[in-house]
Structure 1
Amino acid sequence: MATETQPQQMHLINHKDLESFVQQILIGNGTPEESAVIVSKCLVSADLRGVDTHGSNRIPSYMERIRQAALNAAATPTLCQITPVVVQIDGHNGFGFVAAHKGMERAIEMAKDFGMGMVSIKHSNHFGMSAWLVKQALDAGMMSLVFTNSSPALPVWGGKEKLMGVSPIACGAPSGNEARPFILDMAPSIAARGKIYKALRRGEKIPNDWALDKDGNRTDDPAKALEGVMLPMGGPKGSALSIMMDVFSGVFSGAAFAGHVTNPYDPSKPADVGHFLVAIRPDLFMTMEEFKERMDYLYKRVTESEKMAGVEQIYFPGEIEMITEEKRLMEGIPFAAAEVASLNKEADLVKVDHLKVQG
């Protein structure tokens, strides 16, 4: 049972210090420097955007998987060109961040030449926040689709056992100078499972409509929620979306599926996660300038639409996270005392300096 605790003291950490710290821990656990740079940037990107559930706090669970030989930190993904616009990648049980980064990189290259590029990835691992892959495509001026499957957390609609993953659906499109880009990154559950782990770490309760305990009752206790199941958003709609992620990321790729992906917090065996990535050139049917003008117009129509009672501002998908990033770049990233202690414990294991905190 979870016990009641008082909210913990919070510390602010500079993003550059955090990135360097995470890299050192990764390298200390046998990760090649090139891979450590990719992983650390992806994790800190999540911290900056306010997606703390998929940021640097994942390091202890990832490192435990390395120590238990459930994840091969030194693995190098291999690429197989299937057609001029399709590539399959075998992650060889390495970091999902590395396989997905290389996958999106190749998808972008194919899209530049042929208008689009599609990559399927098997034998991979958790790759954190999907939005970093969308941003990788945006930085290259590309639209994108980013799918992944994940370990069981949701029942299918009408069922009661954990079967489908809380697998994020992500996509993006660039805009012009007058709007923020479109970045969608959402789970098919009412809330991401990582938010429950975060609440558990910080001694906080969760809303009682997020999950059921093992007896099928609603709970605000994160420990009991993790023993039970997450609830899909929109009932059968969320359930269907989670199955869609399994079709495209698991069945299609040759990775694990149908409830057989291993939980990233379980160090007992490889996860065999599957990913599905698509990069698309926005100027296939019009000039890039026209496309961006149309995106700017869409942004304005959305954000300037008439507001319902009690709403002060309407945001474009991904905009709140971008605002959070701008703030945290200046002020630092907040971490609870227990989270800092957990990261410093990993630092002690590989004999690197403790994390610098600003307050």
Structure 2
Amino acid sequence: MDAMRLAFGEIKSEIKRVLVKYGMPEEKAETCARIHTETAYDGVYSHGTNRVARFVNYIQKGWVDVNAEPSLEREFGAIRVYNGNMGPGILNALYCTDRAMELADQYGIGIVGIRNTTHWMRGGTYGLYAARKGYAAIMWTNTESCMPPWGGRECRLGNNPFVMAVPSADGSEPLQLDMAMSQYSYGKLQVTRLAGEKLPYPGGFDDEGNLTDDPGAIEKSRRVLPVGYWKGSAFSFMLDILGSVLTDGIGAAGMDQKGYGSCGGCSQVMIVVDPGRTTTDAHMKEIVDTAVRYVKSSAPSEEGGSVRAPGQGSARFHEEHDSLGIYVDDDVWKEIQSL
């Protein structure tokens, strides 16, 4: 794969130009462009620069309303439910995370659901957003069908990305889990295929039903492997149902019927907790620090390897991108520039 290195500001400026061109108000375009660029800066190219062209395509098709705002539909105690009105998923998710943090300030916990929204891009963005402000967070989204249930051949389950985040003990980046319910997300399959590489472990089945590490073969068959096999299949199923129930929204079957692309009309849940209500700040830091040091004290399974806590892998991308510029695929950049 041919690639280039670009400055953060150059990428953000170009993405913003494109979004404004396709009707997004300037302030909203600035926020969306920043999130796409930050995602690439963190090394998640699949949901950063690589998603811009598809997002624009959805705007053109009317599947995303760039002017829509979330509207409150239900409120009781520490719970709020919003209608996303098919607005930009990034903006809707940031809005709901803000509301959840406000509720956590008042009640100790905030639970905010949003239905009828669109793709939030990288789910980890919102967990990091809350954890950087001192909150603990659990969040997820349901999606259209893109994974067969365990034992099945046809897609009936979503990847349903699941996020957990907690502030770090030393003031560095929060600890964070951001995972799809498949061994690899479709975005990761794309990035690996574009790089001309194989997956490090089998990630799905080919058309003949054989486990394979070939990302292109898995994209073609659309038979990604659930993480933990039947466990990931069940986890995905329950996230889909809970996401729909807690938002009065729809699940994979409903999104498949609507046909508005990836996550068109999806449901998302943001649960944010003020850990100061359950422990002291000093004890929380002690808990986190002890856990991280204990896990990292394990001897590496391979010579020269290392053990790291969830979320700590982005540090190496930051160092690389700060010194060399952010990695962008040539064809992806050309496509963005052509919009």
The CA distance in 1 between the partners of 2:319 and 2:309, in whole Å, is: 16
Q: Which of 159, 171, 191 is the matching residue for 1:166? A: 159
The CA distance in 2 between the partners of 1:202 and 1:276, in whole Å, is: 34
Determine the structure 2 residue equivalent to 1:119: 112
Contact kept in structure 2, 1:45 and 1:55, CA below 8 Å? yes
CA 1:262–1:60: 2 relative to 1, 3 Å: farther
The CA distance in 1 between the partners of 2:194 and 2:306, in whole Å, is: 32
The CA distance in 2 between the partners of 1:221 and 1:270, in whole Å, is: 25
Cα displacement (A) at 1:259: 3.4
Cα deviation digits, residues 76-125 of structure 1 (max 9, x gap): 11124511311111110111111110000000011011101001110011
Aligned residue identity for 1:272: G
Determine the structure 2 residue equivalent to 1:175: 168
CA 1:243–1:343: 2 relative to 1, 3 Å: same
Aligned residue identity for 2:237: I
Determine the structure 2 residue equivalent to 1:247: 241
Aligned residue identity for 2:318: E
The CA distance in 1 between the partners of 2:263 and 2:302, in whole Å, is: 49
Asked if 1:338 corresponds to 2:312, the answer is: no
Asked if 1:131 corresponds to 2:124, the answer is: yes
* Paired residues for 1:266-345 under 5 Å: 271-310=264-303, 312-345=305-338
Contact kept in structure 2, 1:188 and 1:238, CA below 8 Å? yes
Contact kept in structure 1, 2:142 and 2:252, CA below 8 Å? no
CA 1:270–1:257: 2 relative to 1, 3 Å: closer
Aligned residue identity for 1:159: G
The CA distance in 2 between the partners of 1:149 and 1:116, in whole Å, is: 22
Cα deviation digits, residues 210-250 of structure 1 (max 9, x gap): 12234434455544422321111221111112112202223
Determine the structure 1 residue equivalent to 2:75: 82
Contact kept in structure 1, 2:147 and 2:159, CA below 8 Å? yes
Asked if 1:109 corresponds to 2:115, the answer is: no
The CA distance in 2 between the partners of 1:185 and 1:198, in whole Å, is: 17
Determine the structure 1 residue equivalent to 2:190: 197
TM-score by length of 2: 0.92
Contact kept in structure 2, 1:121 and 1:275, CA below 8 Å? yes
Q: Which of 34, 43, 48 is the matching residue for 1:55? A: 48
Determine the structure 2 residue equivalent to 1:94: 87
The CA distance in 1 between the partners of 2:317 and 2:261, in whole Å, is: 36
Asked if 1:33 corresponds to 2:38, the answer is: no
Cα deviation digits, residues 267-308 of structure 1 (max 9, x gap): 679811110111101111221122112212222112223333
The CA distance in 2 between the partners of 1:307 and 1:263, in whole Å, is: 47
The CA distance in 2 between the partners of 1:191 and 1:57, in whole Å, is: 16
SS in 2 for 1:230: coil
Asked if 1:44 corresponds to 2:37, the answer is: yes
Cα displacement (A) at 1:319: 0.1
Contact kept in structure 2, 1:165 and 1:259, CA below 8 Å? no
Aligned residue identity for 1:245: L
Contact kept in structure 1, 2:49 and 2:328, CA below 8 Å? no
Cα displacement (A) at 1:150: 1.2
Cα deviation digits, residues 114-147 of structure 1 (max 9, x gap): 1010011100111111111011101211000010
SS in 2 for 1:73: coil
Contact kept in structure 1, 2:132 and 2:173, CA below 8 Å? no
Determine the structure 2 residue equivalent to 1:231: 225
Aligned residue identity for 1:284: R
CA 1:291–1:198: 2 relative to 1, 3 Å: same
Matched pairs, number: 338
Contact kept in structure 2, 1:26 and 1:36, CA below 8 Å? yes
Contact kept in structure 1, 2:6 and 2:327, CA below 8 Å? yes
The CA distance in 1 between the partners of 2:263 and 2:287, in whole Å, is: 44
CA 1:159–1:38: 2 relative to 1, 3 Å: same
Contact kept in structure 2, 1:262 and 1:270, CA below 8 Å? no
TM-score by length of 1: 0.87
Aligned residue identity for 2:320: K
Give ranges in structure 1 of 5+ residues lacking alignment: 1-7, 347-359
Give ranges in structure 2 of 5+ residues lacking alignment: none
SS in 2 for 1:164: coil
Contact kept in structure 1, 2:203 and 2:225, CA below 8 Å? yes
CA 1:214–1:250: 2 relative to 1, 3 Å: farther
SS in 1 for 2:308: coil
